[in-house]
Amino acid sequence: MKILTGNELLSGAAVYLDAGGRWGGEVQRARVFGAEDGDALEAAMGESVASGRIISIEPETIELRDGAIYPLRIRERIRAEGPSAPRLNRQTLAEDDHVSI
Amino acid sequence: MYRYDEFDAAFVAERVEQFSDQVRRRIAGELTEDQFRPLRLMNGLYLQLHAYMLRVAIPYGTLSARQMRMLAHVARTYDRGYGHFTTRQNIQFNWPKLRDVPEILADLASVEMHAIQTSGNCVRNVTVDQFAGAAADEIIDPRPVAEIIRQWSSLHPEFLHLPRKFKIAMTGAPNDRAAVKFHDIGLMAQANRSGEVGWAVYVGGGLGRTPMVGKLINGFVPHEHLLAYLESILRVYNRYGRRDNKFKARIKILVHEEGLENIKGQVEEEFAHIRGGILTLPEEELDRIGAYFAPPEFEDKGVVRIDVEREKILDPAYGRFLSNNTFPHAQPGYTAITVSLKPIGGVPGDATAEQMEAVADLAQTYGFGEIRVTHEQNLVLPHVALADLRAVYDGLAAAGLAEANAGEVTDMIACPGLDYCALANARSIPIAQDISRRFAQPERAGEIGKLKIKISGCINACGHHHAGHIGILGVEKKGTELYQITVGGDGTENAAIGRILGPGFVADEVPDAIERLVDAYIVRRESADEPFIDAYRRLGDGPFKEALYGNG
């Protein structure tokens, strides 16, 4: 299973594509693409790149643990939660930083 | 300190204006990310895990109090109130917003600072000994030549698209505190038999996935020909350096694959063509630049004797500070002070805006307005009168900057690692924090003595782990952070690359592993005066391997 993640242009914040086609900062709201959703994932990536507002877009492998999204790479778990030492808040999106495709 | 001339000021101002327009066009959708990315990188703006990161150049690690106050302003106004000083003697801000970057660069330009050539395959910031112009053991202050190299390499049309990035380090003293042999080019001041001062040139050093100690390519290049010699090296590298494989593109690979004698022959041939040409440095130009770095007007404040042993009894923290954080100065009655950015359990190299301002104030009041950044991620007040030492210490203590651990086990280098860096495979900062807490007791750290631990979160080795007496390299294996430990590295004139002694450890095991290495050293050292690295060289891997893995 995969989710789509990238960084928002103005803030650089780590963002995730949700099921409503909107990019936001909550990994748990990310749309989960199954093995059969390859075409949808490709299409969403293409539309997101075309928006010009999301950069460094990557599909990221996840699994569901008790229904929650769990990125398999440590890098992505840290990206989703913010720096660990010391624990700092993630970069915030301004209201006009949310991007729909 | 060097002051911009009209050319410097104009080109920095033009670049700010140009980048402001590029940012505007990017936000307006007139530039794609593919078009914009190389432009932002040319201005030091990276994209990291959580946000953009702006890397600001601090030429040869020298800052004025005014510039430090501006860095504090940037941290407070546009970032999260802190900055991170790096092993390249630069500063990085971890949370800038894209719209703010042109304004940040304009603010920096107002104090003669910029972020140009802090990224990309060009000549990067020249780094030097942090005690340059102050050290008692110095042959010559390297900063005037470093400034000349900065001017020569800035926007040099031939060298803006090298096969890979290119780093030059210099020391004016025989005791290398700038790790010059781990740079693409390392320069060490030398006096020849006539007493003339020039430069021994080392080439092909580096860290990263293929660590190499630089090789001596020329034992003495006079000042006047140094630029021509450097240009000759760069030209040979630019012509033959590999562009087909990013991992083999540094000059160290070229020198290794072609052999030093072959490369030397080509450099000398090139040098024969251009020697005596327009790159010859006239004495008067050297003097003109040198005047900016003239020693400050030291005052005779009378004889000041400080009884360190007595101070250790009266005020142990201050006594330790005197022992560890002061450095012999060329001027009688003065000392250079290391301001540790390694509080116990803190983030190596981080300073808050308030701390930056406190250092600026102390530099202004007691240190002729001068500040240095060290490649070991500390700050230095290079010229402090012994008579003012206590006042400076008290000022540092009030700002939380009086950790008396310079050169000790808790004075670690650590790269940002996977908490910030898009290239990292594992975290560095929490490992440094855990080791710092483990050795927090000053008596224990004092017993261990001088010991350099250096931590990198990936094989690119920004944390100089190869050059650590004890090096720690973070890797990811099957979704877990693992840490390889090396022993025996050395970043000084006796440069050496640390050796891997066995399998890696998970994060929780690292402090115990380091403690076992330390205990093995203490048990086997000849006396308390034999430092860790000397004991390792005498004893070899055996006792340290056994300490890490047992004798099974």
- The ranges of chain B with pLDDT < 70 are 552
* DSSP 8-class letter at A84: B
Rg of chain B's alpha carbons, rounded to an integer? 23
CA distance B5 to B15: 16
Nearest CA in chain A to B430: A85
The Cα angle at residue B193 between residues B188 and B196, in degrees rounded to 5: 60
Give the pLDDT confidence score for residue B303 in this predicted structure. 78
Instruction: Report the DSSP pairing between strands B168-171 and B185-191.
Output: parallel
CA distance B217 to B268: 10
Residue of A12, A72, A79 with shortest CB distance to B98: A12
User: From start to end of A25-71, where are the E strands?
Assistant: 54-65, 68-71
Contact B347 A85 (CB under 8 A): yes
Nearest CA in chain B to A80: B50
Nearest CA in chain B to A78: B419
Residue B496 forms beta bridges with which residues?
B490
Reading the block at residue B362, the tokens are 């102390």
Q: Which residues from B are below 8 Å from A78, CB to CB? A: 49, 418-419, 427
Asked whether B88 and A2 are in contact (CB, 8 A), the reply is no
Which amino acid, residue A17? L
Reading the block at residue B308, the tokens are 């360190």
Q: Which residues from B are below 8 Å from A73, CB to CB? A: 476, 479
Nearest CA in chain A to B475: A74
DSSP letters, B198-243, are: EEEEEES-B-TTS-B--EEEEEEEEHHHHHHHHHHHHHHHHHHS--
Give the pLDDT confidence score for residue A98 in this predicted structure. 76
**Domain chopping of chain B, boundaries:** 6-59+79-109, 135-291, 413-549
Residue B198 forms beta bridges with which residues?
B190, B222
Which amino acid, residue B509? E
3-state helix, strand, coil in chain A (%, to 5): 30, 35, 35
Asked whether B445 and B399 are in contact (CB, 8 A), the reply is no
Q: Does A46 touch chain B (CB under 8 A)?
A: no
Give the pLDDT confidence score for residue B7 in this predicted structure. 87
Percent of chain A topping pLDDT 70: 98
First to last CA, chain B: 58
Residue B490 forms beta bridges with which residues?
B496
Residue B120 backbone phi and psi in degrees, to 5: 90, 170
Give the pLDDT confidence score for residue B2 in this predicted structure. 84
Torsion of CA B69, B73, B76, B78, to 10 degrees: -150
Reading the block at residue B236, the tokens are 């040979």
Reading the block at residue B332, the tokens are 């009688």
Asked if the bond preceding B531 is cis, omega within 30° of 0, the reply is no
Topology of domain B413-549 in CATH is Sulfite Reductase Hemoprotein; domain 1 (3.30.413)
In the sheet that holds B82-85, the strands lie side by side as: B45-47, B52-56, B91-93, B82-85, B350-352
Buried b / exposed e over B45-63, threshold 16 CB at 10 Å, is bbbbbbbbbbbbbbbbbbb
Each residue's pLDDT tens digit, A6-54? 999 999 999 999 999 999 999 999 999 999 999 999 999 999 999 999 9
Residue of B32, B347, B424 with shortest CB distance to A52: B32
Residues 6+ apart with CB under 8 A from B332: none
Reading the block at residue B500, the tokens are 């891997």
Instruction: Report the DSSP pairing between strands B62-64 and B52-56.
Output: unpaired
Residues 6+ apart with CB under 8 A from B113: B56, B57, B58, B67, B70
Contact B80 A88 (CB under 8 A): yes
Q: Which residues from A are below 8 Å from B420, CB to CB? A: 83
Q: Does A82 touch chain B (CB under 8 A)?
A: yes
Reading the block at residue B230, the tokens are 């450097």
CA distance B495 to chain A (A): 32
Q: Which residues from B are below 8 Å from A88, CB to CB? A: 80
Residue B189 forms beta bridges with which residues?
B199
Give the pLDDT confidence score for residue B552 in this predicted structure. 63
Number of separate helices (H) and strands (E) present in chain B: 18, 21
Let me know if B282 is exposed, middle or buried by CB neighbors in 10 A (0-12, 13-18, 19+): exposed
CA distance A78 to A92: 15
Nearest CA in chain A to B480: A74
Interface ipTM above 0.90: yes
CATH superfamily of the domain spanning B135-291:
Sulfite Reductase Hemoprotein, domain 1 (3.30.413.10)
Q: Does B420 touch chain A (CB under 8 A)?
A: yes
Contact B27 A10 (CB under 8 A): yes
- Domain B135-291 shares a fold with domain B413-549: yes
Contact B50 A79 (CB under 8 A): yes
Give the pLDDT confidence score for residue A93 in this predicted structure. 85
Give the pLDDT confidence score for residue B454 in this predicted structure. 98
Buried b / exposed e over B361-394, threshold 16 CB at 10 Å, is ebbbebbbbbbbbbbbbbbbbbbbbbbbbeebbe
Q: Which residues from B are below 8 Å from A86, CB to CB? A: 347
Give the pLDDT confidence score for residue B4 in this predicted structure. 87
Q: Does B49 touch chain A (CB under 8 A)?
A: yes
CA distance B474 to B414: 11
Q: Does B264 touch chain A (CB under 8 A)?
A: no
Residue B499: closest CA among B511, B507, B516, B487: B487
Q: Could you tell me the CA-to-CA distances from B533 to B182, B495, B521 in Å, in that order?
A: 18, 11, 9
Q: State the DSSP H helix or E strand holding residue B354, giving kind and residue range, or none if neither.
A: helix B353-366
User: From start to end of B5-97, where are the E strands?
Assistant: 45-47, 52-56, 62-64, 82-85, 91-93
First to last CA, chain A: 21
Q: What predicted TM-score, i.e. pTM, was given to this entire model?
A: 0.96
Each residue's pLDDT tens digit, B54-107? 999 999 999 999 999 999 999 999 999 999 999 999 999 999 999 999 999 999
Residue B462: closest CA among B418, B513, B492, B501: B418
Residues 6+ apart with CB under 8 A from B126: B59, B60, B146, B149, B150, B153, B168, B169, B170
Give the pLDDT confidence score for residue B236 in this predicted structure. 98
Looking up tokens 């005014």 gives B66
SS (H, E, C) B427-482: CCHHHHHHHHHHCCCHHHHHHHCCCCEEEECCCCCCCCHHHCCEEEEEEEECCEEE
Interface of B with A in 447-486 (CB under 8 A): 476, 479-481
Give the pLDDT confidence score for residue A99 in this predicted structure. 81
CA distance B90 to B125: 8
Q: Which residues from A are below 8 Å from B51, CB to CB? A: 7, 11-13, 91
Nearest CA in chain A to B52: A12
Q: Does A88 touch chain B (CB under 8 A)?
A: yes
Q: Does B45 touch chain A (CB under 8 A)?
A: no
Q: Does A72 touch chain B (CB under 8 A)?
A: yes
Residue of B29, B418, B433 with shortest CB distance to A74: B418
Q: Does A92 touch chain B (CB under 8 A)?
A: no
Residue B486 forms beta bridges with which residues?
B471, B500
